[in-house]
Structure 1
Amino acid sequence: MTELIGPAGALTTEVVLQLPGARRHCARVLADLRAGLTCVWLFPDAEVESGRADRAVDVVIHGLDDSVEVPRQETRPYAVPETAAPAAQEPREEHGAEGAPGLGGAGSAFDIDDGFGDWDPFGLTGRSGGAGSSGFPGGSGSFEVRSSGAAPPRPAEGPDAEVAVRFAETLSLHGELVSELVAQAGRRTPVLVVRAWAEADLLAVSRLVRRFQAVVKEAGLKPGDRPRLLVAARLQDVEADTVGLLDRTVSRPHWWWGVWGHLDTATVVADAVPSVGAGHAHDRMTPGKLIRHALRCETVVQVAGPDMGLAVLLADTWNGKVKDLAPALRECCSGPAAEAVHGPATSGAAYAHLPEQGLREAWSAGLVESWEGQIRHSPRAGVAAHGGPELDKLVWQAQNRVLLPLIDDARLGFIELLPRIAVRGTARLVETYVRQSLRGANGSAADLASMELGELYAAAVHRDIELTGAQFRQLRTLRLARNKLAHRAPLDDALLLDLLDALSGY
């Protein structure tokens, strides 16, 4: 199994892209390309700088039958130009097929026995072809050049000349690139791939996209006959209106937005947090230790959200105590505060397929994401990150997720005792303590299952059920913890310790 976390404590780029969220996202891009659509794929700056964006493009390329990358020129730095403008507002993206046909394969570099281990959707295992490999020319591809003239390749006009000419030279085309490709109607042409962050001319790629979709649409080709273009870019790599003006009949935008979910972050955290008893051969496992471990993992997941790098840091830094969480988070975010202008998110923004206009600058800077139906601001941005109500809410969400099912199981344990410990019979218990709206007509024993912890506690206080001292303290702790969680208040370390003892009895 390939490790998610490298020796230096950093996420392994190749394996991160094997997580379910990345697989689904790449599969949607691949499905649209296979359906004959030109795709513009937008990434945040951090995904490009980390190399994950390049790797994601490689994954999609390996899933294609044939592709040609624009030959590289001298690359420009990844730094964001000061003149960059965010992309214009556009309609929500319409997904392509949920998955692409023929995604089966053998083997995987990432196997955690979660059902994904044997899935290699893009045929990475055993395929050694480079990212820009193609059956054309001089290979096994079916694309055949039919030149419209005998003249040598001529430079295209305008600032996109270099991109077009490099493609034309690679494909041995004579004449204008897109027109020549359209002339090959009836033959499946390779997908042309441009990594816009490696291009020196910021306007060239945008003009190529516009030319590409205009000529393809005018030709009226069937989806299976269309030449296709895949452009991977950051916001500053294309003109502001490039994405907003895409014609959905021949083109499709994709945003690296809402890619990650709870399962992805939880998988990373599970690899980052030491296992219970790891390194201690004689350490005895207890229910309390297992619950505490689950709480620690889930709290890191909720606090970090879609920020995988922060999840790894926090998993290594935080000791699991609630009182130490805010200092640990400050330590993880101790670098220079990241700043990006962003407005308030509108209702439903987290469910859109792209960041809305007011969030795009922050999204590009890696400071805001859609995660599990929520707009999540990175703690690195200093948005109520290191304490206070926002952090309390995240801790409460984690405790709710882990503890509520266990507390209810403990409640049912007391319910099972009632026929033996009810002083005046179960029918009297139902009549006295169960709310009228939850009772049956005859106060049957089945209605006992609806008794809440508060009602059980009241019955114990009034001596209508007989409990030992330990059982009474256990019931009191369960009731107190359940009430705090019901009122959206996280449990402190002292109450958590008592609750773990109470839960260990069941």
Structure 2
Amino acid sequence: MNAVNPGAEESASPGPAAPEPVTDGAGRRILDEDLARLPGPRRHLGVLEADLRAGRSCVWYFPDPVVEMGRADFFVRELTHRLEAVIPVPGVVSRADRHTGAPSLPAQRTPVAASHDPWADTDQEAWGTDLSDDPYGSLLSGLVAPGGGVRPSLAPAAAAQAATLEDRLAKELGVMGDPVESLAEQAAAGQAPHVIVVRCWDEASPEEAARLLRVAQATFHEAGLPGHRRPRFLLTARAADLPRATLGSQGRAAVHWWWRVWTRLDTEVLMAWNSRSGTADAAAMLSRRVTDAVVAEVCGPDIDRALALRDAWDGGDLGTLRSALGRVLPGRTADPADPVLPRRLSTAHASTPDAEIHGAWARGAVDSWDGRIHATRGSSLLDPGSQELRVLVCHAQNRVLLPLIEEARSALIHLVPGLLRTQRFTLREFCEKARSQHLRNAPDGAVPDLEELELGGLSHAAYMLALTTAQRHRLRTLHTARNILSHRTPLDHGELVTLTQVLTTDWTVG
């Protein structure tokens, strides 16, 4: 529980309306609370929490769409609920202003609607707040209807200058002088160091928050406060909300990006929580595994679209998949400003988006996912002339099917001694005949180990084995599928159905 709002959990204040939740194709609600339980966001929040608890201030950058949909506010709440002595500083820019794209002004501006405050679970009565004593709350008093609601599109009759960030921080601290000096004095006196949270997307002046952080870092250093005793700041921002210089290091401040947060595991866990209804045989269940893998590969970091695509596409060829994508991603077109995605692994594994894709990241167009740069808009996947969708489907099929094909090969290897036509062939002769092509030039007398034999060699020497018709069909199917997948070509629907039946049938059956 935050130190500044001890009655938050019990508050009856409804607060601002939550953003409309994303739903999948079946109308199921995909809630932020569910996403916060996924491994990727939990890991990301854990890193930030560790830095703050270690006494480091943090600058936390989000892509623009994550802020506009309200999800960034949610994850800021999730982080601060893990901490103690948190002081959130109310902003002066309303969420309505953010949605209209009103440009930030050099100086503070008067809000035209009540700011969207994620800390609004604090009840006014619980605090006994008197707006007449509030140097900036008085500006909002005219916006509050008698019933406690917000009057939409209502501005004060006279334009008044909003309080500065330092003034608002001083108000939250309950001090009259310099809030930074007060923070240093309190920490030096042995009080628990505060965590000051500033949501820069709710600030009208990009320079104020950056300047406050620089001054605080210098003040705490001059006061001789050790790292674990220093108050720390959490500045959350879009790339355009802070001066460019703040994108780098701020002394002891750690810079974090909403980058490499979502993982393949997040998508798979999300789909497992929303598993398909009904029962199916083993082959159909394996086919569903492949379908889910394709959905994860295609959606990548676009976590909101995963369930929608799975409900819109229940398997099939590339044409049906592309058609389902068109329904899930209506009206998405390529942005000429989006750069060609870099193929360097170092870019995908870096802790921040590189300069060449920084703009695309800020627009929410790209992210790092599963060790590579992944487009989140998916517009190129709708182009029938593009090979990108084909490659992604092949990656997904390889991920699920190749380990199972290998298991089927290994199971057949163990049956070979018992299936050998011993009246005509020896095991040594079989191994020599089934030797892989790259071992053809092995020294004379060298016999490959039975475990090393590949599907191609097993098929080549299959006449030496007493196989049933069904077993020959299985071996031929495995060999064909393995060759197709190894050449980066996805299996079509018919081939996939046949392979799933083979992979879910034992060699000894039939």
TM-score (norm 2): 0.76
In structure 1, distance between residues paired with 2:71 and 2:302: 14
Match of 2:492, as an amino acid? Answer: D
Cross-structure match for 2:302: 307
Deviation >6 Å, runs of 4+: 3-7, 129-133, 438-444
Q: Which residue of 365, 368, 383 maps to 2:380? A: 383
Cross-structure match for 1:333: 329
Cross-structure match for 1:118: none
Helix, strand or coil: the match of 1:354? coil
1:84-103 equivalences in 2 (<5 Å)? none
TM-superposition CA deviations, 1:324-343 (whole Å, max 9, x none): 11111122112243634335
In structure 2, distance between residues paired with 1:50 and 1:482: 44
1:485 aligns with 2:485: yes
TM-superposition CA deviations, 1:470-495 (whole Å, max 9, x none): 22122111100001111111111121
Match of 1:459, as an amino acid? Answer: A
In the alignment, is the contact (CA less than 8 A) between 2:322 and 2:381 conserved in 1?
no
1:129-144 equivalences in 2 (<5 Å)? none
CA 1:474–1:210 in structure 2 vs 1: closer, same or farther (change >3 Å)? same
Cross-structure match for 1:289: 284
In the alignment, is the contact (CA less than 8 A) between 1:36 and 1:228 conserved in 2?
yes
Q: Which residue of 46, 68, 82 maps to 2:65? A: 46
In the alignment, is the contact (CA less than 8 A) between 1:342 and 1:360 conserved in 2?
no
1:78 aligns with 2:75: no
Cross-structure match for 1:93: none
Cross-structure match for 1:113: none
Cross-structure match for 2:244: 240
Match of 1:320, as an amino acid? Answer: G
Match of 1:65, as an amino acid? Answer: E
TM-score (norm 1): 0.77
Q: Which residue of 211, 215, 219 maps to 1:211? A: 215
Helix, strand or coil: the match of 1:69? strand
Cross-structure match for 1:265: 267
In structure 2, distance between residues paired with 1:230 and 1:299: 38
The alignment's C-alpha RMSD in Å is 3.2
Match of 2:333, as an amino acid? Answer: A
TM-superposition CA deviations, 1:349-399 (whole Å, max 9, x none): 11111111121221122110001111001244x234555321111111111
Count of aligned residue pairs for this structure pair: 428
1:104-253 equivalences in 2 (<5 Å)? 162-184=164-186, 185=188, 186-247=190-251, 250-253=252-255
In structure 1, distance between residues paired with 2:217 and 2:256: 16
In structure 2, distance between residues paired with 1:81 and 1:239: 18
In structure 2, distance between residues paired with 1:394 and 1:350: 17
**Which ranges in structure 2 are unaligned for 5 or more consecutive residues?**
1-20, 105-118, 129-134, 136-160
TM-superposition CA deviations, 1:215-273 (whole Å, max 9, x none): 233434211221211111111221222222522xx211111100011110111223345
In structure 2, distance between residues paired with 1:341 and 1:4: 25
1:13 aligns with 2:17: no
In structure 1, distance between residues paired with 2:169 and 2:428: 83
Match of 1:433, as an amino acid? Answer: A
In structure 1, distance between residues paired with 2:63 and 2:444: 61
Cross-structure match for 1:416: 414
In the alignment, is the contact (CA less than 8 A) between 1:260 and 1:306 conserved in 2?
yes
In the alignment, is the contact (CA less than 8 A) between 1:191 and 1:227 conserved in 2?
yes
In structure 1, distance between residues paired with 2:496 and 2:465: 26
Match of 2:435, as an amino acid? Answer: V
Percent pairwise identity: 36
